[in-house]
């Protein structure tokens, strides 16, 4: 299963440079995800208990134009274990960029299609979000376009794009080849879960190269309760044409 992550980064910094700076400042492995989430503009969490130096960082794209002082304070925010600690530069930076935060915040919902002939992506997404992510994933989901007659159907079953439908919170596209009666619900759920993991974890970096299906990603992927059945179905070549 392939997945793609595309971010438009028009500001002074790009995702790679910002991630590298924060890695150097914190001494930790940073998995950075640039978002347009106006509710949670900055959030930090550890990868897992067995990777104490691994940090998942989600930043609103306004921080791509932050100065070095703000970036240093973000590094302090990441490493600080003090509840209620003050970060005045971050607070001021967010306030100064309120107009940018409010800009283009409406997703073009009319362009999203979640109801299929056999599978409802909206219901699947909501169920998975509650069961595996605590309701914390904030992206849109839609069936992709059906290929025109005579074109070759690609085997990419799902993709996550962080630029979304012009709104910015992110968009999951699912190949409509899966919207068939002979494709079991648990397999569609698995494909959606896979893409939601990308939305949750972002893209890691190692030696300047993007890492998407890392060992920790694969470990989380196996937490899907129908993982073995889904893999068996996939290997059986019953994914549809």
Q: What is the pLDDT along the chain (241 residues), one digit of tens a residue?
A: 544 443 333 345 678 888 889 999 988 888 887 877 666 688 776 654 344 567 778 788 889 899 999 999 999 988 886 555 688 999 899 889 888 877 644 444 446 788 889 999 988 998 998 899 887 888 888 898 776 544 444 468 888 876 533 333 678 999 999 999 999 999 999 999 999 998 888 766 565 566 678 888 899 999 999 999 999 998 886 443 3
Rounded CA separation 198/209 (Å): 16
> Over the range 8-39, which residues count as b (16 or more CB within 10 Å of their CB) and which as e?
eeeeebebeebbebbbebbebbbbbbbbbbbe
Domains (range + CATH), the chain: 15-102 (3.30.2010), 109-235 (3.30.2010)
């Amino acid at each position: 299963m392939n997945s793609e992550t595309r971010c438009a980064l028009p500001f002074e910094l790009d995702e790679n440079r910002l991630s590298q700076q924060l890695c150097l400042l914190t001494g930790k492995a940073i998995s950075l995800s640039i978002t347009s989430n106006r509710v949670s503009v900055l959030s930090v969490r550890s990868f897992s208990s067995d990777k104490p130096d691994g940090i998942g960082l989600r930043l609103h794209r306004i921080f791509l134009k932050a100065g070095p002082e703000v970036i240093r304070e973000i590094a302090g925010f990441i490493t600080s274990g003090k509840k209620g600690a003050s970060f005045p530069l971050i607070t001021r930076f967010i306030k100064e960029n309120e107009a940018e935060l409010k800009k283009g915040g409406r997703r073009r919902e009319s362009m999203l299609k979640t109801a299929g002939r056999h599978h409802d992506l909206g219901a699947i997404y909501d169920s998975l979000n509650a069961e595996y992510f605590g309701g914390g994933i904030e992206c849109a989901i839609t069936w992709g376009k059906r290929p025109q007659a005579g074109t070759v159907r690609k085997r990419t079953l799902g993709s996550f794009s962080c630029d979304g439908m012009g709104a910015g919170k992110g968009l999951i596209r699912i190949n409509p080849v899966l919207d068939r009666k002979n494709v079991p619900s648990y397999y569609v759920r698995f494909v959606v879960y896979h893409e939601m993991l990308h939305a949750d974890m972002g893209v890691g970096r190692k030696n300047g190269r993007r890492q998407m299906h890392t060992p920790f990603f694969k470990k989380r992927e196996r937490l899907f309760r129908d993982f073995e059945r889904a893999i068996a179905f996939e290997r059986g070549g019953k994914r549809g044409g």
